[in-house]
Amino acid sequence: MSDPQGLSAYAELDLARAARRGYPEAVYCEGKTAQQVAGIAAAVRDRPDVTTLFTRASAEHAEAVLHELPDARHFPEARLLAWPAAPPAPAGGRVLVLAAGTSDVPVAQEALLTARYLGRDAGLIADVGVAGLHRVLGRIDELREADVVVVAAGMDGALPSVVAGLVSVPVVALPTSVGYGAAFGGIAALLSMLNACSPGVAVVNIDNGYGAGHLAAQIAAVRR
Amino acid sequence: MSDPQGLSAYAELDLARAARRGYPEAVYCEGKTAQQVAGIAAAVRDRPDVTTLFTRASAEHAEAVLHELPDARHFPEARLLAWPAAPPAPAGGRVLVLAAGTSDVPVAQEALLTARYLGRDAGLIADVGVAGLHRVLGRIDELREADVVVVAAGMDGALPSVVAGLVSVPVVALPTSVGYGAAFGGIAALLSMLNACSPGVAVVNIDNGYGAGHLAAQIAAVRR
Amino acid sequence: MSDPQGLSAYAELDLARAARRGYPEAVYCEGKTAQQVAGIAAAVRDRPDVTTLFTRASAEHAEAVLHELPDARHFPEARLLAWPAAPPAPAGGRVLVLAAGTSDVPVAQEALLTARYLGRDAGLIADVGVAGLHRVLGRIDELREADVVVVAAGMDGALPSVVAGLVSVPVVALPTSVGYGAAFGGIAALLSMLNACSPGVAVVNIDNGYGAGHLAAQIAAVRR
Amino acid sequence: MSDPQGLSAYAELDLARAARRGYPEAVYCEGKTAQQVAGIAAAVRDRPDVTTLFTRASAEHAEAVLHELPDARHFPEARLLAWPAAPPAPAGGRVLVLAAGTSDVPVAQEALLTARYLGRDAGLIADVGVAGLHRVLGRIDELREADVVVVAAGMDGALPSVVAGLVSVPVVALPTSVGYGAAFGGIAALLSMLNACSPGVAVVNIDNGYGAGHLAAQIAAVRR
Amino acid sequence: MSDPQGLSAYAELDLARAARRGYPEAVYCEGKTAQQVAGIAAAVRDRPDVTTLFTRASAEHAEAVLHELPDARHFPEARLLAWPAAPPAPAGGRVLVLAAGTSDVPVAQEALLTARYLGRDAGLIADVGVAGLHRVLGRIDELREADVVVVAAGMDGALPSVVAGLVSVPVVALPTSVGYGAAFGGIAALLSMLNACSPGVAVVNIDNGYGAGHLAAQIAAVRR
Amino acid sequence: MSDPQGLSAYAELDLARAARRGYPEAVYCEGKTAQQVAGIAAAVRDRPDVTTLFTRASAEHAEAVLHELPDARHFPEARLLAWPAAPPAPAGGRVLVLAAGTSDVPVAQEALLTARYLGRDAGLIADVGVAGLHRVLGRIDELREADVVVVAAGMDGALPSVVAGLVSVPVVALPTSVGYGAAFGGIAALLSMLNACSPGVAVVNIDNGYGAGHLAAQIAAVRR
Amino acid sequence: MSDPQGLSAYAELDLARAARRGYPEAVYCEGKTAQQVAGIAAAVRDRPDVTTLFTRASAEHAEAVLHELPDARHFPEARLLAWPAAPPAPAGGRVLVLAAGTSDVPVAQEALLTARYLGRDAGLIADVGVAGLHRVLGRIDELREADVVVVAAGMDGALPSVVAGLVSVPVVALPTSVGYGAAFGGIAALLSMLNACSPGVAVVNIDNGYGAGHLAAQIAAVRR
Amino acid sequence: MSDPQGLSAYAELDLARAARRGYPEAVYCEGKTAQQVAGIAAAVRDRPDVTTLFTRASAEHAEAVLHELPDARHFPEARLLAWPAAPPAPAGGRVLVLAAGTSDVPVAQEALLTARYLGRDAGLIADVGVAGLHRVLGRIDELREADVVVVAAGMDGALPSVVAGLVSVPVVALPTSVGYGAAFGGIAALLSMLNACSPGVAVVNIDNGYGAGHLAAQIAAVRR
């Protein structure tokens, strides 16, 4: 299935990136054919020293990756595959991911797993939206132990503003497309987060769990 | 200055409205000339039984009203004039107005005064935004004594969602144009409120303090 | 099928909410897997004292709920399930729901049923759009007997403005995504309602029948 | 002040248009300098057989026109000048213009005057918005005598839909930028009109009184 | 299949409309179930004196109508059914429909058929977009014989502006959702038409062939 | 399958266009039925002197074309068919097409093939996005040999601005709908390109590979 | 007034750009203080071999430039200053600029002057909008003599599509912010141009006369 | 001028915030009256242990602050005042601020000063936009010495994506409202940054220099 020799027609891998930037490149599967993803998977097979993440992978993409890299680990809910299967030993600070509602969990997990595979200690707390403030206030100790907090929320996107008012570390605000009508596929949450009345909120693209996890990993990196 | 005989060229007063709907008509000044507003003020002069509010009144509008109705009461910050000057004796339930930040106060006051002049007992608490949750949590007893809460907020518009999770009565969400950049003149706050993750949130137009106060007065009205 | 022990991985139920806020929590099914919904249904099974609504439930969600709660009541058109099946005895005021056109009926029914299951007396009138004013004018007595009127309308969203001019109680404006082209999935109706030239209009999110019914139930609640 | 010899650098008049299309060209002043408008005024001076309208004229534009054409007629509220001063004798059908609110009157007058100067019998009724339906219902005989109805409305833009349900002739819907917040400078009214649930609504651009009057004059033209 | 007795639960027919307004009501099928459409079809069966149009009908809707009204006429490309099958004898003026491109033809046909079934003489010319001006210029005689011209166009929506500059009668501009990318489902064409630099352009909603045909029929109606 | 005699009902071919404008007309398949496309294919069969491109062709469209023109060449990834199969001998300057990422390749190929079939020498370089500047800097010699550069990019759309700063020839910026969330189907890339801080950037519609290739072919044409 | 020594705090001049890219850098004045512009003017004073353009210059900016470079040439309508005053001798092809209406002339002149100062032979034709097609058709010989045509248009932005259908060379479409209401400051024209149904249209930013002229100069450059 | 006793009517200071969150509260002046700002300045006068920043201060606001706190430091270009005048001794990592163009400098300075007054070592490099890549490539050593890079850019907003590809630390992307037309007051830059094809980009609101500086200070904080 793989077609490494034709790879240059559609992709130019950047395996030196881990060395150059400190973080490996991820393969964004959406918009690529299964055959192209397979081609890339085959090309990284002899570089087990570099962790490769396949993000936004459909079932068909996953099958293609697992055909080339049978021991890759697949997280279907987060639409992610990681190879090699084991994340590196954690270094640097603690990343805590919050999901405002149940429907925000898949994107939150993408952030969680990205942070882990980039080498951070990371955890996840689900269903702590602002409609029941006691939920988030009940977790304040965990919040204050983190070095960076990722907050995934759709609908009104109010949670990052509330969390940023409770902690002193940066909050990565991850808007999700959860909601309907005037949620506009995450725009309402995105705008809410960009206008957070608490400072210290770093916004990423809608449903961009990978980006949120990567940014959090950088913020919590071992300081030089 | 007044021109009551020319009134029909631009306005058809509806003085029977107070009888018909239970609430008098307000005069929306923006977009009217000072002379037109004066003409209307002159026309209501012999109906002191009906409270008339002049909303969104510029200094020039206010001068025109006060020329015709010298004993009207002028609230410059809220851009409102009321005639007769004294509000009716309060009846029905309690209206509580919150302003998330200092800049939201003028619109919040327009809501407060509208509720009072429509016959409700009403109060205002300022600067209780979600960036410092202890502020709103410290007012929870006052919140729970109200029969309806109006929440004016700009920027992320997150406060109504938080408040609606704390009380059992309806929350009137009043987005303000406070903010900049991606606040888009109140759109961010408006969308946030329309997508509030707590039920029980009634949204009105951006900066529509009059509408919020009127709706709150209706919600807290004496039940038939 | 149910998985209550794994529940905390994706949801933190708030069964105390009915006691705390006076209204029980609803389960928003969209964005949850059937298995997650089943897990929640199983978790509420031993709390028949609290009415639980499952909203925006697909056929698959409904099947999952009915597997756990066989005596739940399913309203497919409104995409709603209620458990226990019987609504509480009505208390408080009268909720009247209008649907401007036939296509607005499903969302209007979601509002109607929500109000009923939260304990209000509620009724529905369909197909009374402004293109034939005689329809709504012919119902004016019913309108004036309500303590709150919910108006579901798509397309031009003009009906709430007309109704609010005819009654003295609050109107909950419920924009629907009915229409095409420049209706923009309900945005035209939403904007029209936010700019209603009659005061007393409380706007909720597009297609948010649950939210409209909940808000109406709160407005018509037994006054303390 | 005039500069007819330089005219070709910025304008190419189309005086044959009245003959070709049956309606003369209008001079849209906004975006032209007073000197350019003066140049055009001077160029039409020897063509009194063709009615020329100067639209969206500021005070400065008006002064420039009146310097060249001292007997032109100036309607400051409608920002219009007409030359020659007298409209042609009316022919064709009846044009009726409605203004939903007082603030919509200037744009409605631009429509009224345009229809008159293009040779139609035309009248105007002000302040008949849908918040008080009895106002428009009280004018139903006048409405049904018109051959075309122009309806100027801002805010919710609901009036054209209501009127189109009451008459059998075309309704020209003229959205105005009256309103604030989510009125978005007339977008709410525009969308409402484009989605009117009554057929027979012809929409023109926001605040385009000239276009509405022109279209109405064409609809009510003498049939060939 | 039909369910006339349940009709009032979702629709209130307005069969008196033809008498009252001069034009019969149409049944907008989108958003209605096949069963509801069948119910309406059954209800009009004994009123062959009134032409009923079923618009935006899917194959399933069409089947339901034809089951109740087997002699109705079905135009699948225009998604329209008419009953009785034969249009009334033409009266009033001539309606000419232009389709800028091949993809605009279905919507243009909906306009054509609507005008015919409302009693006008009507014709259609396809594929005369502005990219080849000779096409439209070659049809100028036909254009000038019409009493109203409907112009269906997607993409840049430039054709109505060009046509309105060539004829003296009103042009009904019918934006279509043809195009991609920044055509935004017809918004580009809609905006272009609202800003037509030629006066005399009446805009209707995107893809609203029925509305365009109805408006054209009214414009070309027999004058009282 | 073909229906050339019915062709005039939906299309008016412009085979003289190649002579008149120097470039043949293309057949835009989207929105046309397979039967209509077949009809057009049949109609061009006896004009092998004119190259005909069928763009945005689905599998069904392609089958219809190949049935009429069995020796046409089909490029499924670019959704393009060309007939006759061989492009003309290259003349004029060099067209270079860049694709920022793998997902931008199909649209880039549509541009590449269009330029070739309109008679230019053209090449393609893939996966040279700004996240790894060394990729584009490593191709600077190839860039500077081109007479026009087409740059296809989605997401941030930053590449055309960077490339335009490196070359002296025009850059055709081709936004793609690659991305998610706030990419808004290519709007982010489109806006970025319209605001390129380097001059010399010519923007075309989102995903409009045909338009980009055509424009590039014109820019690189043999000068008269 | 000038402050060259402080220059590095706000600007890093790129005088080598003319050599590197073949076209000199322009100074975009908007958003710079008069003092900053003066500092830059002083810094280029000893490089008369490089033509410097100061674009979007207010009266205050112009005064600052002329104080440092008294022999610069100032074109107030186009808000442009050029130094040295004389454009280079023309080389390459012919640039023709069209302005659809009188109000589009200033932006069109910015394009014209930019092309001239970058070394092209260039001309301008004003007021040839599509409302009177005979105007543009009467100029067809001039159009066909150009090597590139720049078309400045606001409102419906229809002219570039018409012109591109008449010529074989590239058309640079320059949307202007001329218009009102749903023109949205040039968005309607911009979208219309991006969706031009004729291929060969290169779009630049709204009111970006400099960019249009620069692109045209590159397209008409002496071919290597 | 100050009115500390009336302070509670419009503001509730949170002086404990520095202790609680580690960063003091800033006073956002826009939307506050000069008198309100003066009241706040007076209230902090006896807390010199807490650094107070007054952001988005007009000349009038600045005068009010300096009247109460004569030894405050005023940075007019950045619209900022700081009291006490001296920033704390730097601790934690290095913050580097880039401004893409001269017009982005004021917002970049607000970021720079905020970071300094919150206790970081910070520097600024101006005019390094992507139109001349050699500018930013020439600063790569400085870039790689920073612990966080803030990038202020308007127009195409492309610089953060380029910078994030060159460094391993987080990039705070600060869109500015610099640009015109389709820049839409910073929306183009904002969207570009949200869609940056390099990971590691943290976006803040348009023109939110304070927020960018605060976030950068948190990212570069002394690790616990």
Using one digit for the tens of pLDDT, what is the confidence trace for H153-164? 999 999 999 999
Within a 10 A sphere around the Cβ of D3, how many other Cβ atoms? 15
Query: Between F127, F132, F181, which is nearest A10 by CB?
Result: F127
Q: What is the mean pLDDT of residues B139-153?
A: 96
Q: What is the per-residue pLDDT across A6-20, written as a single tens digit (0 to 9) for each?
A: 777 777 776 666 666
Q: DSSP secondary-structure letter at C140? A: H
**Is G132 near chain E, with CB under 8 Å?**
yes
Residues of chain H positioned with their CB less than 8 A from the CB of F102: none
Structure-token pair, residue B32: 């009217």
Whole-number Å distance between alpha carbons of D188 and C65:
41
Reply yes or no on whether the pLDDT at G69 is more than 60. Answer: yes
Q: Looking at residue G88, what DSSP letter applies?
A: P
Which chains would you list as touching C if contact means 3+ CB atom pairs under 8 Å? A, B, D, E
Q: How far is C70 from chain B (nearest CA, A)?
A: 27
H74/G90 Cα distance (integer angstroms): 52
E139-148 residue pLDDT tens: 999 999 999 9
* Nearest alpha-carbon partner for C45 in C79, C72, C73, C75: C72
Question: Band of the pLDDT at H22, cuts 50, 70, 90?
Answer: confident
Do C and H make contact via 3 or more CB pairs under 8 A? The reply is no
Considering only CB atoms, which chain A residues are within 8 Å of H16?
none
Quote the pTM value.
0.95
The CA distance from B8 to A217, in Å, is 69
Residue A159 to residue B133: CA distance in whole angstroms: 12
Q: What is the mean pLDDT of residues F107-129?
A: 96
Taking an 8 Å cut-off on Cβ atoms, the answer to whether D183 and B177 are in contact is no
Q: What is the DSSP string of G97-130?
A: EEESSGGGHHHHHHHHHHHHHTT-EEEEEE---G
With residue H26 as reference, give the H or E element that holds it: strand H26-28
**pLDDT value of position H92:** 94
The token pair at G139 is 């100029």
Partner G, chain F 41-100, Cβ-Cβ below 8 Å: 93
How many percent of chain E have pLDDT more than 70? 94
Query: What is the rounded distance in angstroms from the CA atom of residue E214 to the CA atom of residue D171?
Result: 12
Nearest-Cα distance to chain G for F106, in Å, is 19
Confidence of residue F1 (pLDDT cuts 50, 70, 90): very low
The reply to whether C133 touches chain D by the CB within 8 Å rule is yes
Helix (H, G, I), strand (E, B) or coil at F22: coil
Q: What is the pLDDT of residues E80-135, one digit of tens each?
A: 999 999 999 999 999 999 999 999 999 999 999 999 999 999 999 999 989 888 89
pLDDT in tens, C85-136: 999 999 999 999 999 999 999 999 999 999 999 999 999 999 998 988 889 9
Residue from C159, C161, C193, C203 whose CB has the most chain D CBs within 10 Å, to mutate = C161
When pLDDT is cut at 50, 70 and 90, the band that residue G9 belongs to is confident
Q: Distance, in angstroms, between G203 CA and closest chain D CA?
A: 23
Q: How far is F39 from chain A (nearest CA, A)?
A: 33
Mean pLDDT for F181-189 is 95
Question: Touching check for H132 and chain A: CB below 8 Å?
Answer: no
Tell me the nearest-neighbour CA distance from C101 into chain E, angstroms. Answer: 7
Task: Of D123-132, G142-151, H55-64, H184-193, give the lowest mean pLDDT range.
Answer: D123-132
Residues of chain B with Cβ-Cβ distance to D178 below 8 Å are 31
| 3-state SS assignment for residue H1 | coil
* Beta-carbon contacts below 8 Å between C and D: 115
Kindly list the partner chains of chain D, i.e. chains with 3 or more CB atom pairs below 8 Å: B, C, E, G
Residue F175's contacts (CB-CB under 8 Å, 6 or more residues apart) are E181, F153, F154, F157, F186, F189, F190, F192, F193, F203, F204, F205, F206, F207
DSSP state of A207: T
Flag whether residue D187 sits within 8 Å of chain G, measured between CB atoms.
yes
Structure tokens at D48: 């009194």
Cβ–Cβ under 8 Å, residues E126 and E105: yes
List b or e across D120-138, with b for residues whose CB sees 16 or more CB atoms inside 10 angstroms. Answer: bbbebbbbbbbbbbebbee
Strands of chain E (E only): list them: 26-28, 52-55, 73-75, 80-83, 94-99, 121-126, 148-153, 171-175, 201-203
Confidence check: pLDDT of H3 > 60: no
Q: Is any Cβ of chain B less than 8 angstroms from the Cβ of H190?
A: yes
CB atoms within 10 A of CB B89: 7
CB-nearest to D21 from E147, E168, E218 is: E168
Give the distance from residue D151's alpha carbon to the nearest chain B alpha carbon, in angstroms.
15
Per CB-CB distance under 8 Å, the chain A contacts of C17 are 132
> Which CA distances in Å does H100 have to C164, H156, H175?
52, 10, 10
Question: What token pair was written down for B193?
Answer: 């409120």
pLDDT of residue B116: 97
d(CA F206, CA F198): 20
For residue E99, give the amino acid letter: A
- pLDDT at E202 > cutoff 50: yes
| Contact between chains at E180 and F32 (C-beta distance less than 8 A) | no
Residues of chain D found within 8 Å of residue G135, distances taken between Cβ atoms: 12, 14
Q: Which residues contact H134 (CB under 8 A, 6 or more apart)?
A: none
pLDDT band of residue D19 (cuts 50, 70, 90) is low
Residue D136 has pLDDT above 50, yes or no: yes
pLDDT more than 70, % of chain B: 94
Q: Tell me whether residues C162 and D197 touch, CB distance under 8 A.
A: no
In whole angstroms, what is the distance from residue C187 CA to residue D184 CA? 12
Number of C-beta neighbours around residue C84 at 10 A? 16
Scanning every residue of chain E, which has its alpha carbon at the shortest distance from the alpha carbon of D196?
E205
Q: How far apart are the first and last CA of chain D?
A: 43
User: B200 CB contacts (<8 Å, ≥6 apart)?
Assistant: B164, B168, B169, B170, B171, C23, C214, C215, C218
Q: Kindly tell me the number of DSSP H helices and DSSP E strands found in chain H.
A: 9, 9
* CB contact at 8 A, D38 and D66: no
Closest CA to E119 of E152, E87, E84: E87
> What whole-number percentage of chain G has pLDDT above 90?
82
Q: Is E196 on the interface with G (CB under 8 A)?
A: yes
How close does chain H come to F215, measured CA to CA in Å? Answer: 22
The Cα–Cα gap between F219 and G147 comes to 9
Q: Cβ–Cβ of E215/D170 closer than 8 Å?
A: yes
Task: Indicate yes or no: CB of D14 within 8 angstroms of CB of G132.
Answer: yes
Q: What is the C-alpha to C-alpha distance for residues F176 and F180, in angstroms, rounded to an integer?
A: 11
Residue B13 above 90 pLDDT? no
Backbone angles phi, psi at D216, to 5 degrees: -60, -40
CA distances from B37 to B137, B155, D102, D124, H112 (A): 43, 33, 10, 20, 50
Residue type, E83: W
| Among the listed residues C194, C3, H111, the one whose alpha carbon sits nearest the alpha carbon of residue D157 | C194
Chain D residue with minimum CA distance to G126: D10
Task: Give how far E162 is from chain G: nearest CA, Å.
Answer: 6
Q: Is the pLDDT of residue G133 over 50?
A: yes
Exposure letters D37-68 (e unless 16+ CB within 10 A, then b):
bbbbbbbbeeeeeebbbbbbbeeebbebbbeb
Nearest to F170 among G169, G194, G218 (CB): G218
Q: Is the pLDDT of residue F192 over 70?
A: yes
Q: Kindly identify which residue of chain D lies nearest to residue C161, measuring between CA atoms.
A: D131
Model pLDDT, residue D224: 61
User: DSSP H helical segments within chain H, as ranges?
Assistant: 17-21, 34-44, 59-68, 105-117, 133-137, 140-145, 159-164, 187-194, 209-219
How high is the pLDDT of residue H47?
87
Residue G152 at interface with chain H, using a CB cutoff of 8 Å = no
Which whole number is the average pLDDT over H192-212? 97
Quote the CA–CA distance of D211 and E200 in Å, as a whole number. Answer: 7
Backbone angles phi, psi at G165, to 5 degrees: -80, -10
Q: How many whole angstroms separate alpha carbon A3 and alpha carbon A14? A: 18
What's residue C23's pLDDT? 87
Q: Contact A182/B191, CB-based, under 8 Å?
A: yes
Spatial CA neighbour of A44 closest among A86, A96, A84, A1: A84
Residue G181 touches chain E, beta carbons under 8 Å? yes
Per residue in B66-114, pLDDT (tens digit) is 999 999 999 999 999 999 999 999 999 999 999 999 999 999 999 999 9
Nearest CA in chain D to B37: D102
Q: Which residues of D touch C183 (CB under 8 A)?
A: 191, 195
Dihedral pair phi/psi, residue E203, rounded to 5°? -100, 140
Percentage of residues of chain H with pLDDT beyond 70: 94
Judged against a pLDDT cut of 60, whether residue A84 lies above it is answered with yes
What is the rounded distance in angstroms from the CA atom of residue F201 to the CA atom of residue F210?
Answer: 17
First to last CA, chain H: 43
F140-159 burial, b at 16+ Cβ within 10 Å, e below that, comes to eeebeebbbbbbbbbbbbbb
pLDDT digits 0-9 by tens, H96-128: 999 999 999 999 999 999 999 999 999 999 999
In tens, the pLDDT along C41-63 reads 999 998 888 899 999 999 999 99
Q: What count of Cα atoms within 13 Å lies in the side-chain half-sphere of residue B97?
A: 34
pLDDT, tens digit, for every residue of A160-201?
Answer: 999 999 999 999 999 999 999 999 999 999 999 999 999 999
- Report the chain H residue with the minimal C-alpha distance to residue G12: H127
As a whole number of angstroms, the distance between CA C164 and CA C155 comes to 18
Q: What is the DSSP letter of H223?
A: P
Q: Answer yes or no: do F195 and H187 touch at CB < 8 A.
A: no
CB hemisphere CA count around F162 (13 angstroms): 32
Q: How confident is the model at residue F17 (pLDDT cuts 50, 70, 90)?
A: low
Calpha distance C187→D192 (Å, rounded): 9
φ, ψ for residue F183 (rounded to 5)? -75, -25
Judge whether residue C4 has pLDDT over 60.
Answer: no
Would you call D95 exposed, middle or buried from its count of C-beta atoms within 10 A (0-12, 13-18, 19+)? buried
Residue A23: predicted pLDDT = 87
**E138 to chain C nearest CA, in Å?**
32
Is the ipTM reported for this complex over the cut 0.90? yes
Return the percentage of chain B with pLDDT > 90, whole number: 82
Q: What is the residue-averaged pLDDT of chain H?
A: 92
Distances (CA, A) of A215 to A84, D203, H87: 21, 49, 29
Please say if the pLDDT value at position B210 is more than 90.
yes
